[in-house]
A = this chain, B = another copy of it.
Amino acid sequence: MYIVLKESATYEEILKLKKFIKETGHGALEILDGSIKKIGIMGRKSGLTKESLKEFGIVENVLQIAKPFKFVSREFKNEDTVIEIKGRKIGSTDLVLMAGPCSIENREMIIEIARIVKENGGEYLRGGAFKPRTSPYDFQGLGEEGLKYMREACDIYDLLMVTEVMDTRDIEIIEKYTDIFQVGARNMQNFSLLKELGKTKKPVLLKRGLSATIRDFLMAAEYIVAFGNKEVILCERGIRTFEIATRNTVDINGIALLKEKTHLPIIIDASHGTGKRSLVEPVTLGCVLAGADGAMVEVHKNPSCALSDGDQTLTFEEFIILCKKLKKTLEFKESLKCL
C-alpha cells in the first residue's frame, strides 16, 4: 500500500502523517517519484485503513501494488532511482565502473590498483576483505586489516569503497570503512543479513544468486527496502546453467527485463559472469547497451598471481582499454535515445 501526496503537502503535514503511520506499527518510506511525493507503507497490521489515511487532507490517493515486489517496482516509483554518494551518481549517465581485486592481498597492491582505477576515470574501488570461499581451506581474506588498507587507498585517490559483508555480526565494523556494502551471490537470500542491511544508512550492492529468478532477485531487494534502506544497486553476475564453457551464464534478458520492472540501478559483473578474461569486455559493453547502468570488474597487476579468481581478472592494460570503450558505449547509448 502506498500514498500519493498532494503537491501542496508541507513538510510539517508530511511529518504528522508519518507519525500517525508509525504509531499504528507500520513503517513509512518517503520517496519522490519525479515530481510526485509518495509514502510507501511497510507492514500490514490491522489498524491502518485506506479510510483513516484519506482523512489526512494532504493524501491524494491510497493505492495497492499488485506485484509481490512492491517498493522496488516501477508501479510504486516510475522514475529511475539515482543513488548519490559523495558527489558520484549511480543510475544516471555517469560512468560507473567498480574495479579492483577479488581479494585484498596487502596494502601495496590495493593502493596501486586504486591509482590505476583513478587515473583511468574510475570512481569506485572494489575488493574483498571477508571472502566467501567454497573451500574452508582457501584464503578467507584479511578481515579488518584488509578494510583498513582499502579505506586508505580510497582516501588517497578519492575513490568510493565497495566491499562484501557476509555476516550480520560484521555489519558494524564494515560500515565504519566502506561506502557501499556488497552482498554476494551466495548470500542473496540470507534474509537476516538483508534485514540488517535494510536498517543501515549506506547503499547496498546486491548480487543476484546463482539460481535466483528475476522475481527472487527483486524480492531480496525488497527486503532491504522494506526495512528502510532505499539505496539498493542490483548486480547481474551470471546464473548457473548447463553450459560449462563459461563459469556462469550472464542473463542479458534479465538486465533488459529488470530495467522495465524496477526503478533501481543495475550493474553488470562480467568477471564473475563469464569467468574468462577475454569475454569481460564484449559482455560488459553488450550488457550496458542492453540496459545496465554500469559495470564491476576484477583487475590485478598480475592476474596469474592473484590469490583468487585469476582467470577472470583483467590486467591493467585490458582495464584501461575497457574504461575507454565503456565511456564511448555510455555516450552511444545516450545518442540512441534521440533516434
Contact = CB atoms under 8 A, between A and B. Distances in A.
Nearest to A332: B332
A103 interface: no
Interface in A227-264: 227, 238-246, 248-257, 259-260
Given A253-B273, A339-B325, A227 B282 contact: no
B254 A283 contact: no
A295 to B, nearest CB: 13
A136 B274 contact: no
A297 B139 CA distance: 38
B276 A285 contact: no
A246 B257 contact: yes
Closest 10 CB pairs of A and B: A286-B290, A211-B211, A167-B192, A186-B189, A286-B286, A256-B282, A282-B290, A246-B253, A136-B226, A214-B245
Interface size class of A (residues with CB under 8 A): 35 or more
A41 to B, nearest CB: 11
Interface stretch (A3-11, A56-64, A216-224): A216-224
A133 to B, nearest CB: 7
A256 B283 contact: yes
Given A136-B226, A191-B132, A242-B240, A257 B286 contact: no
A283 B273 contact: no
A305 interface: no
Interface string A115-139: 0000000000000000011111100
Contacts of A191: 132-133, 136, 166, 186
Interface string A276-295: 10110011011111110000
A16 interface: no
A199 interface: no
A239 B279 CA distance: 19
A190 interface: yes
Given A166-B191, A286-B288, 15 more contacts: A44-B137, A132-B189, A134-B189, A134-B219, A187-B190, A211-B211, A213-B243, A246-B257, A250-B253, A253-B283, A256-B278, A289-B289, A289-B329, A324-B339, A325-B339
A336 interface: yes
Interface in A165-201: 166-170, 186-187, 189-193, 195
Contact of A244 (B213, B226, B288): B213
A215 interface: yes
Given A166-B192, A169-B169, A282-B291, A241 B245 contact: no
Given A186-B189, A254-B243, A283-B256, A136 B223 contact: yes
Contacts of A135: 68, 219, 222
Contacts of A324: 339
Contact of A254 (B70, B246, B260, B329): B246
15 contacts: A68-B135, A70-B137, A135-B222, A136-B219, A136-B227, A166-B190, A170-B192, A240-B242, A256-B274, A256-B278, A256-B283, A257-B279, A286-B287, A286-B291, A328-B332
A67 to B, nearest CB: 11
